[in-house]
Structure 1
Amino acid sequence: MDDHAHAEAFAEETSSPSVAGAHWLTDLLAILSAGLICGVLTAMFAISAAALLFASVLSAHITLAIGICLLGTIVLSVVIALFSSCPGMLSVTQEVTVVTLAVIAASIHGTMFAAHSEAEILATIIVMIGLATTVTGAALLAMGVFRLGRLIRFIPYPVLAGFLAGMGWLIVSGAMAVILGTPLSAQTLPTLFETANLIKWLPAVAFALVVDLAARRSGSPMVLPLAIAAFLVVFHVAVWMLGLPMAELQGQGWFFAPAQGGSITLPFHGNPLAQADWTAIWSELPKISALLAISGAALLFASSGIELSVRRDVDLDRELRAAGLANVLAGAGGGAAGFQGLGLTILAHHLGASYRITGLLVAAVCIAILLYGATLLSFIPIPLFGGLLLWIGGGLLYQWLIGIYAKISRREYLIVLLIVALIINVGLLEGVLVGVFAAAALFVLEYARVEVVKYAISGETCQSRVEHHPDDQAYLRKNGSKIQVLRLQGFIFFGSGQQVYHRARRCFETSDVRFLVLDCRDVTGFDSSAIQSLTRICGMVREKDGRLIVSGLKPALSQRLNRLNLGGMHASAVLHFDETDQAVAWCEDCLLHEWKNRPCTQHTQRFADRLAHDLDDPHAFGAMRPYLEKITYKTQNRIINQGEGGTDIYFIESGFVRVQLETRNEQPVHLRTLGPGTTVGEMSFFLQRARTASAIAETDAVLWRLSHHDLLQIARSQPELAHALNSHFIRTIAERLDQSNALVRSLID
C-alpha cells in the first residue's frame, strides 16, 4: 500500500466519531501525563539550578534562589510555549546560564562582604540577576529580529567545546558544593574522603551513574522519572528503618531546612532596587557580556539538537525571538535566564504531547510548587539534587572533553584543554577569551600553511579563447613558457603573501618568463602586508623587463589596490584585466607582434592564399569558388544562432567571431574567439545536429560560407579536394581537443 492509500485509510478511520473520540482521549491523557511528569522534572531542574546559584556562602538563602529560578522557569515556559516555532517546546532555567550567574553572584559577595550588610548583598545579587537576564533577553531578541541565527556557524568549534566542557566542570563542582555545603577546591579536596562527606556524595555519584547507564542502554524517556522516584523511595525507607529524626538530618545537611512560614521567597519581595549597590553591578558587566554569548550559543545548539531529535524543522531566528522575549519578561521580575530545554522537549515529544498546551501545563505545575511546595522541599534529599547536577555536568564533561578527542585535531584539542584549565583555575570569562584568541591564532597558523597558489600554468597549455591561424598557434605553444599564470585563492595576508612572492621569483629564476599573470578570481581579500609582497613582485618583474598583469580581481579589492598604488613607482608595470582570458590574449598578441618574419602575414593575407596553404593545394580556392558564398558581417551581427539546424560551415577571412553558450537565466558564457584563418560551425556541420552555441561578429568580419549540400557536390566531382577539406576540418577539431586535454593534464599534475 502506497503513502496515498495509507493517508486515505487513516482519513476513513479518523472520520468515525468513536475513533476520533478515542484519539482525542489518547492525546488528552498524553498531554496531562507529559505536563505532570515534565512539570515535576522542570521544577526539580530549576531547584537544582537554584542550589547551584547560591552554593556554599549563600546556601542559607536557598528558598530565595528557588524563587528566582522557578519564576524564570514559569515565564520561560509560558512565553516559549506560545511563540516557539516547534509545538511542544519546553524550557527551563539552564545550568549553563545559572553557573555564570553563580560566578557573578560569588564575585559580588566577595567584593561586598566586608563593607555591606547581608541584606544589601542579597539585594545587589537579585538586581544583578534580573538585569543580566533582561539584557540577555534583549540581545537574543535583537539577534532574532535581525535574523542572526546562523551566527553559531562562526564560533570556532574548539572554543564551544572548551566552554561546554568548562561548564560541565563548573556544574560538577557546584554539585559537590551543594552536597557538601562548602566549595570544592584544592584545600577541601582531602575532606571528600572523610566518612561524614563520603556517605553524602557517594549516593549522588551512584544516582548519576545509574541514570546515565540506563539512559544510554534503554533510550527510554521514562528513565529519569523512574530513577528519581526510586531514589526517593529507597532513601526515605532507609531513613525510616534507621529511625533518624528529620531535624537531625536537616542539621547535618541531608535535607534543606524549610523556609520560615513554609513559603518560597520571591525575588521582587522587599524592593531590592532601593538597597542594591550599582557600582558592584557595573564592575561585573564583562561577565554579564559573557552570559550573552553563552546563552546565544547554547540556545542555538539546543535548538539544533531538538530539530534533529524530533525530526521537525526549527526556525532558529524565531526561537531566538521567543527566548529573548521570555528572558526580558523574566528578568523584569527578577527571574534567572534560560532557554529551550533539549531533554525536556524530547521527553514531551516521546510521550506524544507535541502541543503548545504542554508547556502551559508545565508552567502550571511549577506555579503550584512555587506557591505550595516549599514544605515538600524539606523532604527531598540534597544528594538527589546533587546527583541531577552531576549527571548533567558529567555528561557535558564526557561529551566535550573525552568524546571529541578523536573528532578534532591535536592542536584544536589543546585549545579545549587550555580553556578548561583556565576556567577551573582563573575564571570563566578569561578562559573563553583566551580560547577565542588561541583559536584565532591557530586559524592564522593553519591558513598560512594552505597553498595560496591554487595552480601555476604556462602559456603552452593555458592559451586564450582566441583561436589564431595554425602557424600562430604553433608559435604560441612553442613560446608559451614566456607566459606564466598563477591562480591565487583565499585571503592573502603576511604569510600567504610571501608564498606568492617566492613562487613568482621561482618562475623568473627557472624559466624565460616575460609575462606574469596573477589570476585573482578566487581571492576574497588581502591585507596591507600582502600589498607589500605585491610591491616586491612589481619591482622584481620590472628588473626582469617583464610585465605584471592582475586579472579577475573583485571590484572592491581592485579599488583598494588602486588606492594603495602598489608603491607608486611600479604602477606602470601593472596591467588590470577583468578576466584572465583577456590577460592571456593580450600577452599572446604581444608575442605575435614581436615575431619577426611572421609567415601568416605573408601568404595568408588573401583567403585564396590561406586556403591554398591549409589544404596544400595552390588551386583549392579556384576549385571551391563556385561552392562558396562571401558574406560581410557588421559588429554584433549574428552568424549562427544556438538551437538552429547546422547545415553550413564558415571560413573566417578577416575580423573576429565570438562563440558563446546562451542560457535562460544567466549571461552568455564566452567559449572561444575565432580569428582570421579559422573555421566556425564544423561540429554541428558534421554531426547534422542543432547548433550547440551561437556565433556573433565581435568586429566587422568577412566570412566564406560552405553548405553541407555543396560539400557533397565537391565530394562527387572532386573527391581529392573533398578529402583535403575533411582532413583540414578533422585536424582543426583534433587540435582544439588536444589543447583542452593539455590544459586538463596540467591542472591535474
Structure 2
Amino acid sequence: MSDEQSNHTGQAAPPAGVVFTCASCGHVQPLPARFGGRKARCPKCKTPGVVGALPVAEPGVDDVKLDDLVAEESIAEPAPALAEPVAIESEPSASMADVSDARRMFLRNPGVNLLAGVVGGGHLLLSCLALAMLTLSPGPGGLFVGHALALTLAPAVFGSLLLALRGRFPVALAGPDPSATLCVFLLLAAVSSDLSGRVPPAVLAATCFAALPAAAFVSGALGGLLSRLRFADRVRFLPGEVLGGMIAGFGLLLVKAWVPVLAATDPALAALHALPLDEFLPGLGRTVSAWGPTVGFGLALFAIRLATRSLLWPLLLAVFALGLWNLLALHSGLVPDWTAPAAALAASQRSLPAMLDLDSALRLLEPGLFQSVDWTALVSRTDYFAAVAAVVILPSLVRTPILESVSACDAQPDAQMRTLGAATILSGATGGLPCSLSLSGSLSLRLLGANGPLAGLAAALTCFAAWMYGGPLLRHVPLFIPLGALLATALAMPVSWLLGDARNPLSRKEDLRAAWASCLLVALFGPVLGVFVTLGLGAMLSLSRAVSGGGVRLAQSGDVFHSNVDRSPMEKRVLREQGGRILVLRLHGYLFLGTLYGVLRMVQNSLRTQPLRFVLLDFGAVTGLGSSAAIGFRRLESLAAAQGMHIYFTSVPLELEQHLEGLGYHMDDQAGVCRVALNLDYAMEFCEDALLSEAGLLERHTESLEGLLLAGFPEPDLVPLLLKCLERVEAPRNAVMIRQGDASDCMYFLESGRVRVELALPGGRLLRLKKMGPGTVFGEMGLYTNAPRSASVIASEPCVAFRLSAERFALVQRKVPQLAAAVNRFVVGLLAERVAEENAKNRAAQL
C-alpha cells in the first residue's frame, strides 16, 4: 500500500515499537510502544528485566505490510510465534500508590474491625484494671494508687496505636505484660527497701516515681538497639519451652503477690496471717464474704480462659458481674426479697478507689522532682532494670513468630521490636509501664473477624477514652472484678503454658523438664537471678543441641538435580527448562525455630527469582526438632498455601515422622500442602512427573520408538534403518527383562511402560537404583563387554521394548558401519551424561 493510500484512509502510523531483551539467556521479544520502560520477566528463564526501545530505521515503501495496518489490540494478545508471552509487571496506579496509612485502615470491612476493636479495647481495659491492683499492695506501690490505672493504660494506648499505624501485622494489640508489670513493682520494692530509713520520705517517693519511666526508657532503648543487631533472629534459636517456663514462673510470683493485695483490701483479711494454724481455717471461714466473690469470680474467669481462646466471653462475664453487683448493691430496693443474702454479700464489696486522678499525677511532675531523686540507688539496681528489659523484650519476640504463623505474614520481628520499643518510651514519658505484644488479644481479635489495623486503632481509642473520662465510672466497679481478673491472669500463666502451650506434637520429655526447671528457677530465686539463670539454661541447651550445626546443608534446584529415573531426551529437556520450579533443601543437625526461619527465607528468596511448585526438605541428616519448630512448620505451610506450592518432607526418621503426623503431615497424603515422602528420590520423581504431566509428556506413552529416538539420536536419518535391526519384546508387569549375574548379550530401547533397576544385596535385601521410562535405553553395556549383568531390570508395568542383540550389532558393524558408528556415539553420549550426573551427586553428597 502506498503512502498516498495511507493518507487517503486517514489512519495514523502506528507508534514505534519496543523490545524486551533478556540479559541472562538473550531471549528477544518485540512489544507495543506503550510498554516501554516497564518491568518484565523473561518467559524462558524467568529473569527480570526492563522493556527498552527498539532501534527503528527510516521506513520505506517496501517496509509497509498488511499486518502493520491492523489496529493494535491489548497486551493480552501475545505474538503468535511465541510459546510463552513476556510477563509484564503492572505499574502501580497513582490511586493505590499514594494510599495513606489512614485510608489503609478502612480498606477491609471497617464495621467488623471497628466492633472487634472496641471489644478488644474492653478486654485490654479489664487487664489494665487487674494489673493496676498491684498498687494496692503494701510498700511503694501505694504511692501510685491515685493514677494506678493510668500506669497500665499508657502502654495499651501507645502500643496498640503504633502497631496499628506502623506494625507489620494486619491485627495486633499491645499492652502491659503481667510479668513485666510484676517485675517493675518488685523493682520498686527493692529500691524502697534500699532507701527506707536512710533518706527522707520525699526522696524515697521521688526515686520510686523516677524508677517507672527509667524502666520504660531502658527497656525501649535496649529493644531498639538489639533490633539493629538483629537480635530477634538469634532469640529464635533459644528453646521456646525455657522462655515459656520463665513466663510460667512469673505467674507463680504473681499468685504470691496477689495474696497481700487481696489482704490489703480488708482489715479482717490482713489479720489472718497473724493467726496460728489451728485458728487460720476458722478465720478464713468467717471472712468468706470478703474473699469469696473475688476468688469465685477469678476461678470462673480462669475456667473460661482455659475453655475458649476468645476474649468476648471473659468480657461478657465481667460485664454481667458488674451489672449484677450494681443491681444488688446499689438498688437493693428494686430486687425481690429472696435475693437479700446475695444483696448483702454484694453490698459488702467495696468499689474501686480513685485510680484515674490525673491532677494528682500532674502534681507529681514538679520541676524539682528529679533533683530529689537518688540516682545512685537506681544505678545500684541495674540488675533489676536488666531483668525488666528481658521480661519486656523476650516474650514479645516469642509471640511474634506465633502471630506470623497464624497471620501468614512476615512481620520482620526486628522492625516490630523497634515499634514496641518506641511505644514503651512514649509510655514511660507519661509515667507509664513498659509495653509488650499481647498474643491472646491479637489472636482473639482475629477470632472476632478483625482483619485490618482499624481494629487495633479502635482498641487504642477505647483505652484512651477510659484514660481520659473513665474516672467517674470507677466507683461503679467493685473490687472483686479486677482482683478476680488478676487471680485468673496469675493462674493462667503457669497452667496454660505448662499444661497447654508447651505440649505440642514436637514436645519431648527433656523439653518439658526444661520448662518446669525454668519455671521453678524464677519462682524460687526471684525475677533477677531466676531470669538470668533461665536464660543461661536456654543458651546451654541451645549450644548442646546445635554444637554440630543445624539448618540447610545444601540447596539444589530441580533443573540440575534429578531423581534416579532415566528420562527420554524430550523429557530431559523439559526438566532442564522447568526443573527450577523444584527446590531441594538438605537439612542437618538439630532444628530450632531459627533454623526453620532460615529455610523460610531461602524459599522466599527463591520465589523472587522464579515461581516454585515444589519444595523438598530432606531430613536424612536431621538429629532432632525443638518444640518451637512447630511454629516454623506452620509458617512454611502458610507460605506454601499462599504461593500454590507443595512441601515434601523426605527421609524422615521414624521418631520425627511420628511428630510430623501429630502436626497433621502424613505419609502418602496427597491432599495437604505439606506431605511426607519415603525418601528424596521418590519425592523428586513425583515432582518431575507432575511437571512433565503439565507439559503433556507423560501422556505420550503411545508414541512410537522412532519418534522418541529422533530427539536424541546423533543421525536422525538413520533411525528407520536402526528400527529394522531391532526385535520387538513385550513384557508383562514384574517380568524380569535383565537378571543380575546373567551374561550380557543385548541392549533394549524402551518404547512404552516403565522399568526399575534393582541391585540384590547380601541378606536378601533389594536396593532400587533407578527407574526408567519411554525413550530410555538399558543394558547397553551388553554390546561392548562380556561381564555379567551388574543389576536386574524389572518391568514396573506392562512394557514394549526393542532388543538389539550383540550378534545383530556385530552384523551392523560389518555391513552398515555408518549406523554402527551412530549407535556408538549414542551410547557414549548416554554414558557420559550418566557419569556427569553421578559426579554431580557425589560432589553434592560431600558438601
TM-score, reference length from structure 1: 0.53
Distance 1:92 1:439, change over 3 A: closer
* Alignment check: 8 A CA contact 2:238 2:542 kept: no
SS in 2 for 1:426: helix
Question: Partner of 1:433 in structure 2?
Answer: 532
Q: Does 1:67 align with 2:150?
A: yes
Cα distance in 2 for partners of 1:355, 1:81 equals 8
Question: Partner of 1:424 in structure 2?
Answer: 523
Give unpaired runs (5+ residues) of structure 2. Answer: 1-105, 333-339, 554-587, 591-620, 622-710, 716-771, 781-805
Please say which of residues 156-165 and 413-422 is displaced more in the overlay: 413-422
* Alignment check: 8 A CA contact 2:140 2:208 kept: no
Cα distance in 2 for partners of 1:264, 1:373 equals 15
Give the 5 Å matches for 1:43-58: 43-52=125-134, 55-58=137-140
Cα distance in 2 for partners of 1:247, 1:146 equals 54
Give the 5 Å matches for 1:110-129: 110-129=193-212
Q: Does 1:134 align with 2:224?
A: no
Distance 1:245 1:223, change over 3 A: closer
- Please, which of 301, 318, 331 is the counterpart of residue 415 of structure 2? 318
Q: Deviations over 1:514-552 (max 9, x none)?
A: xxxxxxxx9xxxxxxxxxxxxxxxxxxxxxxxxxxxxxx
Shift in Å, 1:110 = 1.3
Question: Partner of 2:489 in structure 1?
Answer: 392
Question: What letter corresponds to residue 463 of structure 2 in structure 1?
Answer: C
Please say which of residues 314-323 and 405-414 is displaced more in the overlay: 405-414
Question: Partner of 1:77 in structure 2?
Answer: 160
Q: Deviations over 1:279-322 (max 9, x none)?
A: 11112211211222222221122323333445555332332121
Question: What letter corresponds to residue 258 of structure 1 in structure 2?
Answer: A
Cα distance in 2 for partners of 1:124, 1:102 equals 13
Please say which of residues 303-312 and 24-33 is displaced more in the overlay: 24-33
* Alignment check: 8 A CA contact 2:120 2:445 kept: yes
Q: Does 1:211 align with 2:264?
A: no
Please say which of residues 297-306 and 202-211 is displaced more in the overlay: 202-211
Shift in Å, 1:228 = 0.5
Cα distance in 2 for partners of 1:246, 1:258 equals 23
Give the 5 Å matches for 1:154-233: 154-181=237-264, 194-195=284-285, 198-217=288-307, 220-233=310-323
Shift in Å, 1:153 = 1.1
Q: Deviations over 1:424-451 (max 9, x none)?
A: 232112112223344455566677999x
Identical-pair percentage: 22
Distance 1:158 1:429, change over 3 A: farther
- Please, which of 169, 173, 184 is the counterpart of residue 101 of structure 1? 184
Cα distance in 2 for partners of 1:297, 1:189 equals 42
- Please, which of 345, 354, 363 is the counterpart of residue 258 of structure 1? 354
Distance 1:229 1:106, change over 3 A: same
Distance 1:90 1:146, change over 3 A: same
Q: Deviations over 1:244-270 (max 9, x none)?
A: 8999957xxx43333697966359633
Question: What letter corresponds to residue 70 of structure 1 in structure 2?
Answer: L
* Alignment check: 8 A CA contact 2:227 2:418 kept: yes
Shift in Å, 1:367 = 3.0
Q: Does 1:234 align with 2:330?
A: no
Question: Partner of 1:634 in structure 2?
Answer: none
Please say which of residues 416-425 and 88-97 is displaced more in the overlay: 416-425
Cα distance in 2 for partners of 1:25, 1:313 equals 20
Shift in Å, 1:95 = 1.2
Question: What letter corresponds to residue 224 of structure 2 in structure 1?
Answer: L
Q: Does 1:274 align with 2:374?
A: no
SS in 1 for 2:236: helix
* Alignment check: 8 A CA contact 2:118 2:455 kept: no
Question: Partner of 2:388 in structure 1?
Answer: 291
Shift in Å, 1:359 = 3.2
Cα distance in 2 for partners of 1:30, 1:443 equals 43
* Alignment check: 8 A CA contact 2:174 2:435 kept: yes
Distance 1:118 1:344, change over 3 A: farther
Shift in Å, 1:397 = 0.8
Please say which of residues 232-241 and 132-141 is displaced more in the overlay: 232-241
Give unpaired runs (5+ residues) of structure 1. Answer: 1-23, 455-488, 492-521, 523-642, 648-682, 692-707
* Alignment check: 8 A CA contact 2:227 2:414 kept: yes
Shift in Å, 1:278 = 0.7
Q: How many residues align?
A: 470
* Alignment check: 8 A CA contact 1:256 1:377 kept: yes
Shift in Å, 1:335 = 1.6
* Alignment check: 8 A CA contact 1:93 1:336 kept: yes
Cα distance in 2 for partners of 1:194, 1:165 equals 28
Give the 5 Å matches for 1:537-548: none
Cα distance in 2 for partners of 1:286, 1:42 equals 30
* Alignment check: 8 A CA contact 1:67 1:264 kept: no
* Alignment check: 8 A CA contact 1:89 1:345 kept: yes
SS in 2 for 1:427: helix
* Alignment check: 8 A CA contact 1:169 1:397 kept: yes
SS in 2 for 1:265: helix
Shift in Å, 1:100 = 1.3
Q: Does 1:327 align with 2:395?
A: no
Cα distance in 1 for partners of 2:363, 2:714 equals 85
- Please, which of 31, 39, 45 is the counterpart of residue 121 of structure 2? 39
Distance 1:312 1:447, change over 3 A: closer
Give the 5 Å matches for 1:312-391: 312-391=409-488
* Alignment check: 8 A CA contact 1:141 1:320 kept: yes
RMSD: 4.9
Q: Deviations over 1:366-423 (max 9, x none)?
A: 3332233223223322221122222222222113333336864444444433333332
TM-score, reference length from structure 2: 0.48
SS in 2 for 1:340: strand
Shift in Å, 1:211 = 3.1
Cα distance in 1 for partners of 2:327, 2:346 equals 17
Shift in Å, 1:29 = 4.3
Distance 1:174 1:184, change over 3 A: farther
Shift in Å, 1:143 = 3.5
Q: Deviations over 1:675-734 (max 9, x none)?
A: xxxxxxxx9xx9679x9xxxxxxxxxxxxxxxx9x9756744799xx9xx99xx99x99x
Question: What letter corresponds to residue 532 of structure 2 in structure 1?
Answer: L
Larger radius of gyration: 1
Give the 5 Å matches for 1:403-414: 403=500, 404=502, 408-414=507-513
* Alignment check: 8 A CA contact 1:176 1:184 kept: no
* Alignment check: 8 A CA contact 1:31 1:358 kept: yes
Please say which of residues 710-719 and 410-419 is displaced more in the overlay: 710-719
Distance 1:166 1:200, change over 3 A: farther
Distance 1:436 1:184, change over 3 A: farther
Question: What letter corresponds to residue 418 of structure 1 in structure 2?
Answer: A
Question: Partner of 1:144 in structure 2?
Answer: 227
* Alignment check: 8 A CA contact 1:84 1:322 kept: yes
Distance 1:154 1:184, change over 3 A: farther
* Alignment check: 8 A CA contact 1:126 1:267 kept: no
Cα distance in 2 for partners of 1:88, 1:101 equals 28
* Alignment check: 8 A CA contact 1:75 1:329 kept: yes
Q: Deviations over 1:295-354 (max 9, x none)?
A: 222112232333344555533233212111111222223221012222323333344444
Question: Partner of 1:552 in structure 2?
Answer: none
Question: What letter corresponds to residue 55 of structure 1 in structure 2?
Answer: S
Cα distance in 2 for partners of 1:222, 1:260 equals 25
Distance 1:185 1:324, change over 3 A: farther
SS in 2 for 1:318: helix
SS in 2 for 1:91: strand
Question: What letter corresponds to residue 290 of structure 1 in structure 2?
Answer: A
